[in-house]
Amino acid sequence: MSSDTKHAAHAHPDGWTYVKVGVILTLITVIEVWAYYVPALVAHPFFNPGLIILSAIKFATVVLFYMHLKYDHRLFRVLFTGPLIIAGCTITALLFLFHHFKTVS
Amino acid sequence: MSSHAAAAHGAHGAGHDDGHAHHHYTTTGLEHRKIAIWAFIGSECMLFASLISTYLIYKGRSIVGPFPHTEWVNEAGVVFKPILNIPVTSASTFVLLMSSLAMVLALQAVQLKDTPLPDGANWWTRAQRSSQGWLLMTALLGMTFLGFQAFEFASFVHEGLTIKTNLFGSTFYTLTGFHGAHVTAGVLWLFTLLFIDRKRGLGPKDELIVDIAALYWHFVDVVWIAIFTLVYLIQ
């Protein structure tokens, strides 16, 4: 590994980047809560998927920037995303198993 | 150390090449403690997945109220309003997000501790070196979050929702209670780091122990991001 690559692997963001990430997280939260209070949006079929997407963006932002997974060794990414995928599949499978999703018969 | 291990040593995030007197040789070239915390976080993902899926499976299946998002009238004609208090929970969510910001700045302060301040450094540059300040702020924000949760639980019980009232109460208190217990453990961990910092000072050589605590704290934050959306906002 070249010294440049080594340096890139260690190059964590500076303090202002962390603050900007905090502002983005706050703005997304404000949008989520604002949408909760708009009846027309709540009634929209894309309301729940939209909230889940916004939540996933916040989740990924914290993991990539604050937990430094974007900059760290790939083994750590595997250790985290592996169980996360299993967890997601478990939730989905259980919801199907308990008929939470309406299916066309 | 083999060339591969040496390369991996340089690539991992647990330790930089300089200032790490306690860095041990490992077969992967990575710090075992950092691998352990990521494996632990992975297992915690599955724990919270089981709690969240239990909540979602029983969502909307309570026979008696109070309910989270809708009104309920009992046999005596008493009207119970939707029990979730979104403004209070939004505030506590903001507090936890800001605690994550403070935590990542605490880690950066520890990393920069031995770096001399440039001439004419402004307040922000100076503030970024204050590991004690950021650790204290993180712990206080964590305690504030716990205060919000205690307030929420107390008001729910006052309004007639206990862990035994209905399926919503059972799954809600179990899920958020487990999360609150994790936050409590994190706050104790942060105060331990703060104590060490005041006692002997945390520096770049201690980056790993602060990094591990920070990873745990951020994980507690991301779990709450999921809970806030799935429990509080989705109706």
Distance CA B183, CA B92 (A): 12
Mean pLDDT calculated for residue range B113-131? 82
pLDDT reading at B9 higher than 70 = no
Residue from the list A5, A67, A73 with its beta carbon closest to the beta carbon of B12: A73
Residue of A nearest to B57 (CA): A95
Name which of A3-7, B26-30, B51-55 the model is least confident about.
A3-7
Q: A29 to chain B: which residues are within 8 Å by CB?
A: 90, 93-94, 97, 228
Q: Is the pTM of this model over 0.80?
A: yes
Question: For B143-186, how does the pLDDT look when each residue is reduced to its tens digit (9 = 90+)?
Answer: 999 999 999 999 999 988 999 989 999 999 999 999 999 999 99
Q: Nearest CA of chain A to the CA of B101: how many Å?
A: 6
Comparing C-alpha atoms, which of B211, B34, B14, B222 is closest to residue A60?
B222
- Give the residue extent of every domain in chain A: 3-72, 73-105
Domains of chain B: 45-233 (1.20.120.80)
Question: For B201-225, how does the pLDDT look when each residue is reduced to its tens digit (9 = 90+)?
Answer: 888 899 999 999 999 999 999 999 9
Residue of B nearest to A2 (CA): B7
Return the pLDDT at B180. 97
Please check whether residue A104 touches B, CB under 8 A.
no
Please check whether residue A94 touches B, CB under 8 A.
yes
Which stretches within chain A are classed as H helix? 3-10, 15-36, 39-43, 47-61, 74-97
Distance CA B137, CA A49 (A): 34
pLDDT range class, residue B15, cuts 50, 70, 90:
very low
β B79-80/B72-73 pair status: antiparallel
Pairwise CB contact (< 8 Å): B229 & A73: no
CA–CA distances in Å: residue B23 to residues B9, B31, B32, B142: 9, 8, 10, 31
Peptide bond before residue B66 is cis, with ω within 30 degrees of 0: yes
Residue from the list B11, B52, B228 with its beta carbon closest to the beta carbon of A1: B11
Pairwise CB contact (< 8 Å): B13 & A10: yes
Residue from the list B17, B35, B50 with its beta carbon closest to the beta carbon of A75: B35
Exposure string of B199-226, with b = 16+ CB inside 10 Å and e = fewer, is eeebbbbbbbbbbbbbbbbbbbbbbbbb
Return the pLDDT at B52. 95
CA dihedral defined by A49, A52, A54, A58, rounded to 10 degrees?
Answer: -170
